[in-house]
Amino acid sequence: MRRALLLVLCVLLAGCSAASDPAETTDTGGPLEATPVSPRYNPAIGALFVEGTHFCTASVVHSGPGDLLLTAAHCLHDGEGGEYATGISFAPGYHDGVAPYGYWDVSDPQVPEGWADSSDPDLDVGFATAHQAGNTKTLESVTGANALTTGGGFAHPITLTGYPDEREAPVVCHGTSAQADTYQMRVDCPGFSTGTSGGPWVIDADPATELGTVVGVIGGYLYGGDDPDTSYSSYFDTDVATLYRKMDSRG
C-alpha cells in the first residue's frame, strides 16, 4: 500500500533514508522488469520532501499565478479526522541527491471536502502552491507546466512518473489507462511503490518538452493500490475541476 503519510510518520519519529539508483523507464508492452535508460528528468515533475526525505510525488500544473502543484490528497491531508501536513518542500526535477532548481516551500494545501471529511478514495486529489525564498520568478516560469483536464474519460495512452521512496530518481512508464472496477482509473506499470503517490498521468506529451495534459495522479483505491505494478487514480470530475478553478483564480 502506498500510504505516503506513513513514510512521513517514519521520518518524524525514527528517521528514514532512501537508496540511490539510476533512473528507469518501463513500457507495459515489454518485460515486467524496468530497464535503465539515459536519465532525462522532467523539471515539471518532482519529489515532495519532509525533513530531508522524499515521501510523495507532485507536478506543476498551469495556473494564473504560476505557482500551482498537483498531487494526491493523502500527500497533503490525513483524511477523515486528520489535518493538513506542514513543513513540506518540493524539488522539481530531483535526481541522485541533486535538486537542480532548488527546493520550493509548499503552502496553501487544498483537498476536496469529501477527502477531508471521510477519506473518500474517489477524491484523492490535492493542490498546493510553491514559492522559493528570494526568487521573484514563479515556479511555472522556471520549470514549465502541464495543462489539466477533467471529464476526459478513462482510456488514454499515458506517461506515468513517480519517485519511489527507496530511490533517488524517478521511474517512468508508458502505458494505457482504463476504468477500474470502481469509478477510478488504473494502469499496469511496474515499479511504482511507496513514494510515487501523486505522480502525474500525462497524455499528449510534447517530445521536446515532455509537457502535456494531466488526467490523473497516483492515489485513490488503497492510496494508489496495494501492488506496485498496478496504479490507480481518482477520476478527475467536477469536484476536481471546482477545486482547480479555485486555486487558479487566486489573485
Asked if residue 202 lies in contact with residue 194, where contact means CB atoms within 8 angstroms, the answer is no
Backbone dihedral region for residue 149 (phi beyond 0: left; psi -120 to 50: alpha; all else: beta): beta
pLDDT of residue 41: 86
Alpha-carbon separation of residue 229 from 2, 6, 36, 135 (angstroms): 12, 20, 17, 39
Dist. CA 218–CA 225, nearest whole Å: 8
pLDDT of residue 103: 98
Domain annotation for the chain: domains and CATH numbers: 4-14+43-248 (2.40.10.10)
Asked if residue 161 lies in contact with residue 42, where contact means CB atoms within 8 angstroms, the answer is yes
**β-pair type (104-110, 88-92):** antiparallel
Question: Coil, helix or strand for 21?
Answer: coil
Residue 93 has pLDDT above 70, yes or no: yes
Give the single-character DSSP code of 10. Answer: H
pLDDT tier at 4 (50, 70, 90 boundaries)?
Answer: very low
Q: Which amino acid is at 53?
A: T
Give the tens place of pLDDT for each residue, 154-170.
999 999 999 999 999 99
Helix extents (H) in 77-191: 113-118, 139-143
| Average pLDDT estimate for 97-121 | 97
Dist. CA 156–CA 175, nearest whole Å: 8
Residue 244 has pLDDT above 60, yes or no: yes
pLDDT tier at 250 (50, 70, 90 boundaries)?
Answer: confident
In what helix (H) or strand (E) does residue 171 lie, and over which residues does it extend?
Answer: strand 171-176
Alpha-carbon separation of residue 155 from 175, 226, 236 (angstroms): 10, 21, 13
Residue 1 has pLDDT above 60, yes or no: no
Dist. CA 218–CA 235, nearest whole Å: 11
